[in-house]
Amino acid sequence: MRYRTLGPSGLLVSELCLGTMTFGGSEGMWGQIGKLRQDEADSLVRAAFDAGINFIDTANVYAGGESERILGQTIRNLGIPRDEVVIATKVLGVMGEGPNARGASRGHIMAQAKASLQRLQMDHIDLYQIHGFDPLTPITETLEALDTLVRQGHLRYVGLSNWAAWQIVKAVGIAEASKLAPILSLQAYYTLVGRDLEREIVPMLQAEGLGLMVWSPLAGGFLSGKYSDGNTANDGRRASFDFPPVDLERGDAAIAVMREIASARGCTVAQVALAWLLHQPVVTSVIVGAKRIEQLQDNIRSTEVALTAEDLAALDTVTRLPAEYPGWMLERQSQYRATFASQKG
């Protein structure tokens, strides 16, 4: 297991992060995603920690807070020292009946951070993330609330999730200008069959030096290969919870190339998908969830898969995004200066 600094900080996190969306579900969407009980969660976290994973991600909305509660109890049950694990959680979603029991307002953030701490049985959260963009709340209000919690010692670092590039840059600029707690990271969807991030967000993250945590790296199980070629695989999560959306024609073409690489490398299709992400310079940590220890261990072995330049080129060719404005125009016009620089050199 390798470790990387999270954005512009000295915080080292493992290149794989354990996602806990499978903890505590009972019915509805959360039951479809996972119903792991306390003893099962204990075993999963133990296996992850023993493999070198020091980074665990949850959210207050996962199973209505049950995921946080189970995770907090697990850390205690296993006797894992608090300073040896980096705990990330999130706020934004619906946590009550009223109109203010959701969003990124100061009131909701302050209340939910303390509720999360209580469920986690901890005195601080290492990384607190705004789970999405709230169009009703001024970004400054959100950032000032986060800064207050950092100054109070309840939070160590702050990040965002599922924000557009312009929204992130605006938040980064406000935080810098107002000397508020800086934005360290973005948690976002990024896979071989979902490379939309590369149009605007990846260049922005690299320019600003922010970290990237990847959620759903197997595209809801699609990149395990068991859903390709028209196979619905009714025993998997996508059969009942078809998310994130995938272009099946492009997806099947990608799976075909991945099968060839997996066969040559002696690994699984899922490991190729995870290894591709770990080879992307912009990626800090890839969030892997699991229902079984065997599934988690299979994902962990992706850290041992070394893709060649030829492998990466083949995967890029079959999954590359089609050219889109203004990207193709920016590339064309940048040649004016690039050509001059090469001649001068």
Give the tens place of pLDDT for each residue, 229-287.
555 555 555 555 567 888 888 999 999 999 999 999 999 999 999 999 999 999 999 99
What amino acid positions are annotated as catalytic residues?
62
From CA 71, how far away is CA 169, in angstroms rounded?
32
Q: What are the structural domain ranges in the chain?
A: 3-342
Instruction: Enumerate residues 6+ apart whose C-beta is below 8 A from 210.
Output: 7, 8, 168, 172, 183, 184, 185, 186, 204
Average pLDDT for 56-85:
97
* Region of residue 308 (left: phi > 0; alpha: psi -120 to 50; beta: else): beta
Tens digit of each residue's pLDDT (9 = 90 or more) over 165-174:
999 999 999 9
With residue 126 as reference, give the H or E element that holds it: strand 125-130
How many other CB atoms sit within 10 Å of the CB of residue 108? Answer: 22
Assigned token pair, 246? 């995938």
Least Cα distance to 60 among 105, 90, 30, 21 occurs for 90
User: What pLDDT does 225 receive?
Assistant: 86
Q: With 90 as the cut, is the pLDDT of residue 28 above it? A: no
* Band of pLDDT at residue 228, cut at 50, 70 and 90: low
* Band of pLDDT at residue 321, cut at 50, 70 and 90: very high
User: What pLDDT does 29 receive?
Assistant: 85
Tens digit of each residue's pLDDT (9 = 90 or more) over 199-217:
999 999 999 999 999 999 9
Q: Bigger pLDDT: 344 or 341?
A: 341
Tens digit of each residue's pLDDT (9 = 90 or more) over 75-133:
999 999 999 999 999 999 999 999 999 999 999 999 999 999 999 999 999 999 999 99
Q: With 80 as the cut, is the pLDDT of residue 343 above it? A: no
Tens digit of each residue's pLDDT (9 = 90 or more) over 109-125:
999 999 999 999 999 99
Assigned token pair, 147? 């800064």
Q: Mean of the per-residue pLDDT values for the chain?
A: 93
Tokens 């040649």 correspond to: 335
For 3-342, CATH gives: 3.20.20.100
